[in-house]
Structure 1
Amino acid sequence: MRPSVYIKDLREHVGKEVSLKGWLYHKRSSGKIKFLIMRDGTGYLQCVVFKGNVAPEIFELADKITQESSFEVKGAVREDKRAIGGYELDVTDLKLISLSQEYPITPKEHGIEFLIDHRHLWVRSKKQVAILKIRHRVVKAIRDFFDSHGFTLFDAPIITPNACEGTSTLFEMDYFDLGKAYLTQSGQLYAESGALALGKVYTFGPTFRAEKSKTRRHLTEFWMVEPEMAFYDLNDNMDLAEEFLEYIVQTVLEDRKEELKELERDTSKLEKVMRPFPRITYDEAVEILKKNGVDFKWGDDFGGADETIISEQFDRPVMVHRYPAEVKAFYMKRDPENPNLALAVDVLAPEGYGEIIGGSQREDDYDTLISRIKEHNLPQEFFEWYLDLRRYGSVPHSGFGLGLERTVSWICGLEHLREAIPFPRMIYRNTP
């Protein structure tokens, strides 16, 4: 057979004979015609095997080929608006590469535990392929945005000697003769050093939380992007977060129309994700909860149900800022107009998807930061390098973190984060 082409490129080969390689997604028969639906990772193609156009052994092979068998096919490309993908292949030759034996995920309903157990195969399904392609586009949009806004990628370590926000939700390990070490829960502290060297940086990689939560919003391993900017205050930080989130959503809407359609996503809701976003204080958010019958105590952090109620009042992401300092991390700067408040911001996604961005202006004063470390009972010796950033040329600076899986889950309209990452890690699962 001649060199193969990809399904996504068939528009360039209409009327020509080509060869393609892929897997059998499913098939059907109609007398002397076999319809083989091929997938190759770039799209889906209906391959029409007519008994009168091929050798008897080829027609027999088309009858015997099973779901997810790999094969190579040759034929003429023709345009057909009714066909999947808009093109069909009139098959002239067929070659089996590997016969699939009793593929476990058949075209019927399967329980979620069964599908997660077979995640390595489940990722082949049309819905999962659509999600992973949207995830890929979100990742590219993230990198494109920061690269085009003067940021430098700054890789933070995954193994760290100290916690970013306390050790209660960290995965701990013995690190040779140096004692305890941890899997990172954030690259932020290291990104701050990068911002004081390069001005504007971002870290992007896996992070880990040993949080014993079984909700649909939590994974123990997830990806996070964290920009950090020198000379940015809280308002600058919110402006950037707003522009960033708008860019991601609008880019996916433009470039992943077919995938969103496959997921049956109501894109009218995503189309409203345009600046400006509403900005409310923590106090105003508490009032929203009280007006909706929630018995909420001022000073507490918002739970998932609280975030849903707050976000339901708006048709786009809402930015909640100036939280009680007691519920926020030690490194967050206090509001000079009210020291009980932290210059923090959370961005809540619409439709009940919760917090997708959390950020703050950082404490840039050396003495104040030492006091905060002591208040939080953190070992100062592990933060000496971090304190150096305040000893040598400290400046106002800010940053935020965006959870990739939460963002993908929201954009795709998923019920659970586990579908937004190729192999989810949860408190009750670390396989396959």
Structure 2
Amino acid sequence: MAEHVYIEDIADHVGETVTIKGWLYNMRSSGKLHFLELRDGTGFMQGVMFKGDVDEELFDKTNYLRQETSIIVTGTVKEDERAPFIPFEMGISDIEVVAEPTQEYPVTHKEHGVAFLMENRHLWMRTPRQVAIMKVRHEIIKAIRGFFDDRKFQLVDAPIFTPAAVEGTTTLFETEYFSQKAYLTQSGQLYMEAGAMAFGKVYCFGPTFRAEKSKTRRHLTEFWMVEPEVAYMELDEDMDLAEAFVQHIVSHVLEHCKDELETLERDTAPLEKIAQPFPRISYDEAVEIIKENGGDIEYGADFGAPDETILGEHFDTPVMVHRYPADIKAFYMRKDPNDETKALCVDVIAPEGYGEIIGGGEREWDVEKLEKSIEEHNLPMEAFEWYLDVRRYGSVPHAGFGLGLERTVAWMCGLHHVRETIPFPRMMDKIIP
């Protein structure tokens, strides 16, 4: 029996007779030739069946194979620069049908509307474009973990059930938790602050949930965030860390995702321009840039998607906007001692109109100031007693940030909407499949 190999490794088997176990992605016939497009989860490649190389019954049966028939294909690998997908193809000598579709496959090789594709997301994922996006996502996750692991950050997993809000209370998903109410986490940050006091520098990486009633191309109700937190770190060092982190992700994708970016027809020139240091501007400076470029923003307001787009298009690299008005930031943000109307915070806004990908800053480490802030935000003090303990016992300056994975994937891939960046997106109107 021929050796079973994966398509991603096919270049190592030129001239050998091998077996691929996968599915029929597409097929066309031309007289005495069948051209089969094969996929096995690791890649796509073409197989060619010549009528004279196989028995007549097999050749005829192959002509009637349906899209997504699961098959085991045996043949000899050869190089061919003209072949689709990759510059290799297989000369097929045998096909074993494992299972035939019970009906016509719905996601055919024609144009489909987005609504239809989203209803069939579990099948749409099999196409080359979607496979490429998921592979880029996978590499970004590897880059994220590698960055923090190499810098000896401790991974600390944050809980998904929480007793209270981290951000605004209007974006919480509430659930019954035995005899009390609980909420799906908006962020692991508060727990990372406790972790930083135990390990010095930590990060969590997991799903977070926001019940924002938003249908923009940048929003999901369930998304993944990586959140580092470091003891004895202040805002400038926090910005240094965020800058190095983003640069690392971009460099990793450019190095490891060339084929996927080509499949996606992503123009990599804007990514190749990205280099440290990134521009750092204050909120006040950002407001002026927005107004000068036709934006309609009132001073003191948080940035909306149009404002972020203007800023992102104004710079060739990510731009870091720091010191927003304290009134529009979360209760835990430390105020600037030189101007208490401002928070010691930073947002990183991606170029090309992809919006905010990082939000972070210094945390208030004075227990009395934090208690006052919790009261001013009308939050239940009892739910934050454990959080206040972090300040009661050896409080230190500390800072961190959160990066949204899906927005970062959208930016790297050049996608219009974040719904394509996660295997099974959750939005206001989408919970199936």
| Bin of the TM-score, shorter chain as denominator length | over 0.9
Q: Find the counterpart in structure 2 of residue 77 from structure 1.
A: 77
Q: How does 1:329-368 map to 2 (within 5 A)?
A: 329-368=330-369
What amino acid is the match of 1:316?
T
Q: How does 1:47-86 map to 2 (within 5 A)?
A: 47-84=47-84, 85-86=86-87
Q: Determine helix, strand or coil for the equivalent of 1:49.
A: strand
Q: Find the counterpart in structure 2 of residue 207 from structure 1.
A: 208
Shift of 1:168: 1.0
The two structures have a TM-score, normalised by structure 1, of: 0.98
Shift of 1:166: 3.4
User: Which residues of structure 2 form unaligned runs of 5+?
Assistant: none
Asked if the contact 1:23/1:70 (under 8 Å) is kept, the reply is yes
Asked if the contact 1:17/1:74 (under 8 Å) is kept, the reply is yes
Q: Determine helix, strand or coil for the equivalent of 1:202.
A: strand
What amino acid is the match of 2:142?
K
Q: How does 1:387-426 map to 2 (within 5 A)?
A: 387-426=388-427
Q: Determine helix, strand or coil for the equivalent of 1:323.
A: coil
Whole-Å separation in 1 of the counterparts to 2:297 and 2:38: 54
Asked if the contact 1:188/1:226 (under 8 Å) is kept, the reply is yes
Whole-Å separation in 2 of the counterparts to 1:417 and 1:13: 37
Shift of 1:89: 0.9
Whole-Å separation in 2 of the counterparts to 1:129 and 1:210: 28
Whole-Å separation in 2 of the counterparts to 1:98 and 1:243: 49
Whole-Å separation in 2 of the counterparts to 1:131 and 1:123: 9
Q: Find the counterpart in structure 2 of residue 381 from structure 1.
A: 382
Shift of 1:2: 2.9
Asked if the contact 2:17/2:74 (under 8 Å) is kept, the reply is yes
1:159 counterpart = 2:161? yes
Whole-Å separation in 2 of the counterparts to 1:190 and 1:87: 50
Q: Determine helix, strand or coil for the equivalent of 2:322.
A: strand
Q: Find the counterpart in structure 2 of residue 261 from structure 1.
A: 262
Please list the CA deviations of residues 374-426 of structure 1 after superposition, one character each: whole Å capped at 9, or x if unmatched: 11111111111000011101110000000000000111111111000001111
Shift of 1:6: 0.7
Asked if the contact 2:3/2:17 (under 8 Å) is kept, the reply is no
Q: Find the counterpart in structure 1 of residue 233 from structure 2.
A: 232
Shift of 1:296: 2.0
Whole-Å separation in 1 of the counterparts to 2:392 and 2:259: 53
What amino acid is the match of 1:402?
L
Moved more, 294-303 or 345-354: 294-303
Asked if the contact 1:166/1:378 (under 8 Å) is kept, the reply is no
Q: Find the counterpart in structure 2 of residue 109 from structure 1.
A: 111
What amino acid is the match of 2:371?
I
Runs of 4+ in 1 over 3 A off after TM superposition: none
Q: Find the counterpart in structure 2 of residue 94 from structure 1.
A: 95
Q: Determine helix, strand or coil for the equivalent of 1:168.
A: helix
Q: Find the counterpart in structure 2 of residue 180 from structure 1.
A: 181
Shift of 1:64: 1.2
1:18 counterpart = 2:18? yes
Asked if the contact 2:228/2:401 (under 8 Å) is kept, the reply is yes
What amino acid is the match of 1:280?
I
Moved more, 165-174 or 205-214: 165-174
Whole-Å separation in 2 of the counterparts to 1:168 and 1:6: 48
Q: Find the counterpart in structure 1 of residue 40 from structure 2.
A: 40
Q: Find the counterpart in structure 2 of residue 308 from structure 1.
A: 309
1:139 counterpart = 2:141? yes
Asked if the contact 2:2/2:17 (under 8 Å) is kept, the reply is no
Aligned length: 431
Shift of 1:294: 2.8
Q: Find the counterpart in structure 1 of residue 197 from structure 2.
A: 196
Please list the CA deviations of residues 249-289 of structure 1 after superposition, one character each: whole Å capped at 9, or x if unmatched: 11011100010011110100011222110000000001112
What is the CA RMSD across the aligned residues, in angstroms?
0.9
Shift of 1:88: 1.2
Q: Find the counterpart in structure 2 of residue 245 from structure 1.
A: 246
Asked if the contact 1:317/1:348 (under 8 Å) is kept, the reply is yes
Q: Find the counterpart in structure 1 of residue 286 from structure 2.
A: 285
State the identity %: 63
Whole-Å separation in 1 of the counterparts to 2:79 and 2:27: 20
Asked if the contact 1:49/1:62 (under 8 Å) is kept, the reply is no
Please list the CA deviations of residues 338-390 of structure 1 after superposition, one character each: whole Å capped at 9, or x if unmatched: 00000010000011110000001010111111111111111111111000011
What amino acid is the match of 1:236?
E
Shift of 1:9: 1.3
User: Which residues of structure 1 form unaligned runs of 5+?
Assistant: none
Asked if the contact 2:295/2:306 (under 8 Å) is kept, the reply is no
What amino acid is the match of 1:394?
S
Asked if the contact 1:304/1:354 (under 8 Å) is kept, the reply is yes
Shift of 1:104: 0.5
Shift of 1:29: 1.1
Whole-Å separation in 2 of the counterparts to 1:421 and 1:290: 34
Shift of 1:174: 1.2
